[in-house]
Amino acid sequence: MSAERGDILRRILDDRRSRLAASGPQLGCTIPAERSVPVVPPPAATSRHGGPALFEIKRRSPSRGAIAAGLDAVAQAERYHLHAARAFSVLTESAYFGGSLDDLVAVKARFPGCCVLRKDFLQREDEIDVSYRAGADLVLLIAAALEEAELEALHAAASAQGIGALVELHDRADLEKVRGLKPPLVGINSRDLRTFRVDRLAPLALAAEIEWDCTLVYESGISGYEDALVAAASGFEGVLVGEAAMRSPELVGEVLAGQSDGLAAASFKAGVSAAEGGNGGDRAGKGQNGGNSRRGAAGFGRGGCLGNPRFWAELMRRRAPAAHSCRRPLVKICGLVHADDGRLAAELGADVLGFVFADSPRRAGPALLEELADLQCLKVAVVQSSAGGLAREVCRLLHAGLLDAVQFHGDEAPAQCLQRAFPYYKALRLRGTADLHAARTYGSPRVLVDAFDPHRAGGTGKRIAPELVQAAAEHGPLWLAGGLSPGNIAAIIRAYRPELVDVSSGVERTAGRKDAAKLERYMKEIRHAVTV
């Protein structure tokens, strides 16, 4: 199956060329000779709808098979519209997605005041004219499916017709292809075209390398409120939602709420930072009108304490190829108690500093975060939250910008995490493969796996069983803690290729006191592991 998926794009393009040659750009459908409906641009990020939010209409897909074989495209658009959707993405590719240009014509005729995207594998300029006459307000241009000159020609043709073009990227090769074009509307797909696996942070890593001003649309992997929240808070003004909305149209409201709250959270933090003379305006993302959010200072839409909304985006910026001369994993140094240890970790290249706010010999205090406020590393509170929620001191440090995010390291249920803090990620202590399946129930884009100890939650020096580490790596990008040290980190990196490694006791002299020589050797071994 993976081999079939690996060349699915090539097969779609080959089949489509044959159909174009046989049937022409109308592909056997009846298209009006003249356009009779208005051109409607996608909703702007300043509108009450939060930005471009396109909800897909499709019958099947190569990755999921049949979704709704007998779908009435207009009826599906009506379901979306009932839940406040004002923009639709209509699949018109027939062989693999079960779509048709007839669907596009019918949906736009029923909702002339809504924005409609033609989603297809367009390859020829005459297809732009057909799209325009059929009622498309936007066309999708897939960078991976087009040569640079073809992409530029189709983009120019859309502009000449007065409609927009959503240029879709999947990887750095696509990005290099469009740098000269600098399209104003860019979609980044979280689905790998080779494996069809979704990585929710992949669009953020690619977005970090876009240097021109554009509206970003997050594509694939949006299944509800929290996904949309993370995307919007990370600088994506728009979202394109596919299968999840098809199966449950009522999710439209959840997605729009998440999108609105994400944009508002970033806007609020930008306004606070500007008022305080800080640099959070850059961190909160471009295009936001700081200071006018309706959200409260301590929380956001769903009630959790609000940290740095751009945490995930900043983390992926550090992961981007341009950030390091070698593709080393992200490095988190945890259990910091002394300011000089934190400064040394930052000087040596740590990406994230961890501070324990739980019963532990490594417990940190607010004064330490204030002393390290000038460090450019991301800062995370490690907590075991009680039934009463997050500790007041952690909420205060998040709001003050002294902490960026929260690592939940206790027995928090999936629903409890977002209720208590944003951004956050969950740490799971693995006992067996069942715990890996539980990881998928949490809404954070990443889950940190750690060794299980019945008496202590972390800092035990214990390692996870190799077979569990391997299984975790196969689930997706690996965030690994538990028993890491200068003596084993290189072998671990070569064996499992983790995205993030988290060390605490392995670089200590005593509990809570880092050993400078061990820390230096640890970072050296990491660099060596990815350069040999």
Is-contact 238 53, C-beta < 8 A? yes
**How far is residue 414's CA from residue 395's CA, in Å, rounded to a whole number?**
19
**Dihedral in degrees, nearest 10, Cα atoms 33, 37, 39, 43:** -140
Q: Which of 61, 100, 190, 220 is catalytic?
A: 220
Residue 190 bears catalytic tag: no
DSSP state of 191: B
Q: Which of 89, 93, 100, 119 is catalytic?
A: 119
Q: Which of 61, 131, 189, 273 is catalytic?
A: 189
Residue 119 bears catalytic tag: yes
Closest CA to 446 of 483, 472, 410: 472
Interacting residues of 98 by C-beta distance below 8 A, sequence separation 6+: 58, 59, 60, 69, 71, 91
**How far is residue 144's CA from residue 165's CA, in Å, rounded to a whole number?**
15
**How far is residue 285's CA from residue 268's CA, in Å, rounded to a whole number?**
11
Name the residue type at position 140.
L
To the nearest 10 degrees (0 to 180), the angle between helices 101-110 and 126-134 is 40
**How far is residue 477's CA from residue 499's CA, in Å, rounded to a whole number?**
6
**How far is residue 26's CA from residue 131's CA, in Å, rounded to a whole number?**
9
User: Which residues on neighbouring strands pair with residue 363, listed in sequence order?
Assistant: 356
Is-contact 356 335, C-beta < 8 A? yes
Interacting residues of 49 by C-beta distance below 8 A, sequence separation 6+: 43, 84, 86, 256, 260
Is-contact 209 320, C-beta < 8 A? yes
The tokens describing 69, both together, are: 């074989």
Q: Which of 93, 127, 168, 525 is catalytic?
A: 168
Interacting residues of 147 by C-beta distance below 8 A, sequence separation 6+: none
DSSP state of 301: T
H helices, E strands: number in the chain: 21, 22
Q: How many CB atoms lie within 10 A of CB 241?
A: 29
**How far is residue 435's CA from residue 132's CA, in Å, rounded to a whole number?**
50
Residue 168 bears catalytic tag: yes
Residue 250 bears catalytic tag: no
Is-contact 42 116, C-beta < 8 A? no
Does residue 380 sit in helix, strand or coil?
strand
Residue 176 bears catalytic tag: no
Burial of 483 (0-12, 13-18, 19+ CB in 10 A): middle
Q: Which of 93, 127, 219, 226 is catalytic?
A: 219
Annotated catalytic sites, by residue? 56, 58, 119, 168, 189, 219-220
